[in-house]
Amino acid sequence: MKFFVDTAEISEIRELAATGLVDGVTTNPSLIAKSGRKFLDVVAEICSVVPGPVSAEVVSNDFETMLKEGKKLAAIAKNIAVKVPLTVDGLKTCKALADAGTMVNVTLCFSPAQAILAAKAGAAFVSPFVGRLDDVGTDGMQLIADICQIYAQYPTFRTEVLVASVRGPMHIVEAAKLGAHVATMPPSVLKQLFGHPLTDKGLAQFNADWKKTGQSLL
């Protein structure tokens, strides 16, 4: 499974990229607005830090304008994945950009039927929002299971399932068990994956035992 971080904070991206565990980044206008910087400048800097896909979202709703915005975003760097909404105009934009060789991330997916449309439109990624479904009393992980099952039936589908709206480590684990290709998560959730009390306890014991020997490896 590939790990993307869902943030526009350059310092966090640099820190996590240094671990070698980050395969890409997802952003949106809301995340970039928090930085107080110009949208295109932030996206360009992220692309220079992370060699993998960087999702940058269009901000219009009609096909003609979304296509223009998508082309402008795609021109920033080769690793841009233009993010478009799962609407009729969004899918038309996806098809046009994908046919031109641009990676597209179709976002705001909430049903298996929508995921089929994204794959048929040539999306590189489809982003089902598991946390938002959980919030309204629907099983978000069941959506991931359904999409993975459907995509597995059609080898010609090249769309990767990008699990979004991740709220905690168990979303990641369950998505991985179901065979999802990618999970995007806030930096805080990625850091939570490292933690386990028995790891901390074991390390403390190892350190204490080594200190008693009075030896050094250096």
Look at residue 131 and tell me if it is in a domain: yes
Cβ-based burial of 179 (10 A; exposed 0-12, middle 13-18, buried ≥19): middle
> Which pLDDT value is given to residue 34?
83
> Which regions in the chain score pLDDT beneath 70?
none
CA distance 89 to 104: 14
Q: How far is CA 44 from CA 31, 49, 53, 161, 187, in A?
A: 15, 9, 12, 25, 20
Prediction pTM value? 0.94
Active-site residue, 71 included:
no
In a domain, 218, yes or no: no
Give the chain's end-to-end CA distance (angstroms, integer): 37
Contact in structure between 133 and 115 (CB atoms under 8 Å): no
Note the pLDDT of residue 31.
86
Number of domains in the chain: 1
Domain range holding 66?
2-213
Please tell me the distance from the alpha carbon of residue 74 to that of residue 10, in angstroms, as a whole number.
20
CATH code, 67: 3.20.20.70
Name the residue among 46, 71, 75 with its Cα closest to residue 60: 71
Give a yes or no: residue 36 inside a domain. Answer: yes
Over its C-alpha atoms, the chain yields an Rg (Å, rounded) of 20
**Would you state the pLDDT for residue 33?**
85
- pLDDT 10s digits, 51-90: 999 999 999 999 999 999 999 999 999 999 999 999 999 9
Give how far Cα 202 sits from Cα of 163, 197, 212, Å: 32, 9, 16
Per-residue pLDDT, 54: 98
- The answer to whether residue 140 sits within a structural domain is yes
> Which residue among 83, 92, 201, 212 is the active-site one?
83
Please state, in angstroms and rounded to a whole number, the distance separating the CA atoms of residues 164 and 143: 12
